[in-house]
């Protein structure tokens, strides 16, 4: 069996790069990290390919957010429970 193409440090670097890319809120920057035949699901909607990914799951939600909205991704960070 061949060894994996990555080690822990390179895997963590890839995850950090994806997180940093997402948090730019620049659809074209995120687009570069997607393969041409990527498939994304957003609830009941499936999109395939970079162009559809940029238009639906990336551009629309970010356009609806105000610049004051804090919406970032932090991989591995625990999310506090919602108040009851």
Q: Beta strand pairing status for 39-42 and 45-48?
A: antiparallel
Contact call for residues 50 and 44 (beta carbons, < 8 A): no
State residue 80's pLDDT score: 60
Note the pTM of the prediction, 2 decimals: 0.55
State residue 64's pLDDT score: 60
* Residue among 47, 64, 56 nearest 27 (CA): 56
Phi and psi at 42, nearest 5°, equal: -125, 95
pLDDT in tens, the chain (84 residues): 777 788 888 888 988 988 898 888 787 888 888 888 888 877 788 888 888 877 775 666 666 665 555 555 556 655 566 565
State residue 74's pLDDT score: 59
Give the CB-side neighbour count of residue 75, counting CA atoms within 13 A. 13
């Amino acid at each position: 069996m061949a060894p994996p193409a990555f080690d822990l440090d390179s895997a963590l670097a890839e995850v950090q790069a994806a997180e940093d890319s997402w948090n730019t809120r620049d659809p074209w920057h995120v687009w570069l990290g997607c393969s041409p035949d990527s498939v994304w699901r957003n609830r009941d909607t499936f999109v395939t390919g970079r162009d559809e990914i940029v238009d639906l799951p990336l551009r629309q939600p970010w356009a609806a957010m105000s610049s004051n909205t804090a919406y970032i991704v932090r991989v591995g960070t625990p999310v506090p429970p919602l108040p009851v």
